[in-house]
């Protein structure tokens, strides 16, 4: 077999231009000197005082407006200092009996609807889900709740109030199957603004959660992903993402993740799998090892590593699980907590005023190759324009080194303030051992 050297994924030219190549997608990115000195966040210069009378009711995801979302599938409630409880199938009559720190609710506008799965695959509601639907609709409060949300959806879809009113109850109820057995869920956090906020610039993002709260957020999300696979045998992948702030695609500036079951692996996974088949150690070699050799590592703990990514359209922090288990739901509590602490710290260092996308990547359920669970945190601080469309070369205003330096400086301050886990080893503290990702190691 002829030796073939990997290309240099990161090149700095004499004038300071940095050229990047993504080792998985082949995306080409340039950073041109002078284009990176722009403010990142939205800022609070136009911050408006909060109305105390609207506390807990700022948007449809808030704790005093539960009836504006479809019937929830479950909720996580914090009791006391250490106890977290998951409540399932809360009846409509009891939706306000507890305050949910996190709720799992169907998306009102699914990317792939219940009808998609039903018509294309013959999917029908499993018996226990159909029973849940019947029980909810048999309750006067539950039926009124479903009809109210269906009416809201129909009107938002363009139907006039008169046309909605002319529809019979059964016809409107028929549109609610996705509320119970659909494959597009939201995981909604409790707070809209941080505790004690007095103006609307103090939004509660992932980085403003405590490490313990964020660990519940991540654990609950993983359990919900597994639940979607268990619900629909036709799902080949459940994609997980978080759009933070409207410039990053959020409908509401209220912290939530989205889980979408799809019937394909996706183009990015297929391209990565083709390379992984020829090099099982791919993720170590072209991701964490390469980042270590280029001094791009931001932080590390026993179970995760974060580094400044390269070859991305937007400045991207890459966070990798070191676990030997490719499926997040098979990882130990300590391994999930290590990933959660790293993700929370990267959000905290980014700041709640920076629009960003959190994207999860892990092994599709029908793949037998091992690959690590990894999370991309993309800062949406630039707009794609004509140059990118014409050349497919993307201009990223922040180099990986600049990204590393911004985040590392903030992490040291956050650790001193005890706002992130103290187990993180930052920058030069990180051991950066080669092949630290254990996904490719033989199981004992």
pLDDT at residue 5 in the model: 59
pLDDT tens digits, one per residue of 68-121? 999 999 999 998 777 999 999 899 999 999 999 999 999 998 999 899 999 999
Mean pLDDT, the chain, as a whole number? 92
Whole-angstrom Cα distance, residue 183 to residue 120? 14
For residues 12-23, average pLDDT: 94
pLDDT tens digits, one per residue of 310-359? 999 999 999 999 999 999 999 999 999 999 999 999 999 999 999 999 99
Q: Give domain limits for the chain.
A: 10-35+265-429, 58-259
Contact 22, 376 (CB under 8 A): no
Burial profile 75-107: b = 16 or more Cβ within 10 angstroms, e = fewer: bbbbeeeeebeeeeebebeebeeeebbbbbbbb
Q: Which residue in 133, 157, 156, 155 sits closest to 146, CA to CA?
A: 133
pLDDT at residue 2 in the model: 53
Q: Which residue in 415, 205, 432, 217 sits closest to 307, CA to CA?
A: 432
Residue 398, pLDDT > 90, answer: yes
Whole-angstrom Cα distance, residue 272 to residue 439? 15
Model confidence at 1, pLDDT cuts 50, 70, 90, reads very low
What pTM, to 2 d.p., does this model score? 0.95
For residues 373-378, average pLDDT: 98
Q: Which residue in 161, 129, 329 sits closest to 231, CA to CA?
A: 129
pLDDT at residue 36 in the model: 55
pLDDT at residue 39 in the model: 56
Least confident of 38-42, 214-218, 243-247, 361-365: 38-42
Model confidence at 163, pLDDT cuts 50, 70, 90, reads confident
Whole-angstrom Cα distance, residue 45 to residue 236? 45
pLDDT at residue 80 in the model: 76
Contact 328, 315 (CB under 8 A): no
Residue 257, pLDDT > 90, answer: yes
Least confident of 59-68, 177-186, 229-238, 268-277: 177-186
Total H helices, total E strands in the chain: 13, 16
Contact 104, 187 (CB under 8 A): yes
Q: Which CATH architecture has domain 58-259?
A: 2-Layer Sandwich (3.30)
For residues 403-412, average pLDDT: 97
**What fold, for 10-35+265-429?**
HIT family, subunit A (3.30.428)
Provide the Cα torsion 18, 207, 375, 301; round to 10°.
90
Q: Helix, strand, or coil here: 340?
A: helix
10-35+265-429 matches 58-259 in fold: yes
Question: Who wins on pLDDT, 362 or 176?
Answer: 362
Strands 393-395, 74-79: pairing is unpaired
Plot region of 260 (φ>0 → left; ψ -120 to 50 → alpha; else → beta): beta
Model confidence at 41, pLDDT cuts 50, 70, 90, reads low
Model confidence at 177, pLDDT cuts 50, 70, 90, reads confident
Residue 444, pLDDT > 80, answer: no
pLDDT at residue 271 in the model: 92
List Cβ neighbours of 190 (8 Å cut-off, separation of 6 or more): 63, 99, 100, 101, 102
Whole-angstrom Cα distance, residue 240 to residue 247? 19
Per-residue tokens: 218: 């991540």
Residue 154, pLDDT > 90, answer: no
Give the sheet arrangement for strand 18-21, strand by strand: 10-12, 18-21, 28-31, 393-395
Contact 181, 114 (CB under 8 A): yes
């Amino acid at each position: 077999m002829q030796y073939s050297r990997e290309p240099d994924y990161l090149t700095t030219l004499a004038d300071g231009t940095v050229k990047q190549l993504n080792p998985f997608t082949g995306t080409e990115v340039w950073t041109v000197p002078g284009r990176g000195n722009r403010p990142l966040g939205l800022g609070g210069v136009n911050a408006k005082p909060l109305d105390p009378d609207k506390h807990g009711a700022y948007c449809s995801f808030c704790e005093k407006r539960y009836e504006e979302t479809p019937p929830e599938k479950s909720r996580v409630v914090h009791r006391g200092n250490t106890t977290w409880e998951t409540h399932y199938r809360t009846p409509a009559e009891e939706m306000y009996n507890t305050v949910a720190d996190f709720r799992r609710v169907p998306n009102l506008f699914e990317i792939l609807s219940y009808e998609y799965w039903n018509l294309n695959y013959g999917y029908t509601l499993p018996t226990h889900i159909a029973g849940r639907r019947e029980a909810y609709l048999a309750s006067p409060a539950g039926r009124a709740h479903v009809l109210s949300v269906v009416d809201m959806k129909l009107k938002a879809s363009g139907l006039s109030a008169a046309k909605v009113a002319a529809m019979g109850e059964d016809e409107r109820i028929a549109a609610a199957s996705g509320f119970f057995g659909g494959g597009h869920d939201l995981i909604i956090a409790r707070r809209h603004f941080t505790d004690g906020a007095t103006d609307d610039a103090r939004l509660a993002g992932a980085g403003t959660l405590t490490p313990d709260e964020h660990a519940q957020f991540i654990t609950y999300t993983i359990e919900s992903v597994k639940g979607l696979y268990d619900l629909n045998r036709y799902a080949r992948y459940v994609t997980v993402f978080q759009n933070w702030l409207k410039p990053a695609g959020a409908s509401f500036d209220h912290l939530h993740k989205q889980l979408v079951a799809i019937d394909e692996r996706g183009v990015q996974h297929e391209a990565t799998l083709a390379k992984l088949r020829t090099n099982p150690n791919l993720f170590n070699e072209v991701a964490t090892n390469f980042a270590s050799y280029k001094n791009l590592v931001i932080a590390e703990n026993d179970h995760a590593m974060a580094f400044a990514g390269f070859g991305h359209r937007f400045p991207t922090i890459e966070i990798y699980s070191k676990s030997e288990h490719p499926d997040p739901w098979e990882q130990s509590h300590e391994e999930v907590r290590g990933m959660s602490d790293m993700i929370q710290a990267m959000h905290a260092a980014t700041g709640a005023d920076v629009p960003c996308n959190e994207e999860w990547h892990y092994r599709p359920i029908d793949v037998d190759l091992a690959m690590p669970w990894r999370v991309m945190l993309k800062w949406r601080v630039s707009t794609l324009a004509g140059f990118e469309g014409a050349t497919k070369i993307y201009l990223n205003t922040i180099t990986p080194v600049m990204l590393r330096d911004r985040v590392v400086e903030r992490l040291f301050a956050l650790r001193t303030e005890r706002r992130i886990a103290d187990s993180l080893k930052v920058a030069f503290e990180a051991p950066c051992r080669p092949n630290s990702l254990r996904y490719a190691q033989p199981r004992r």
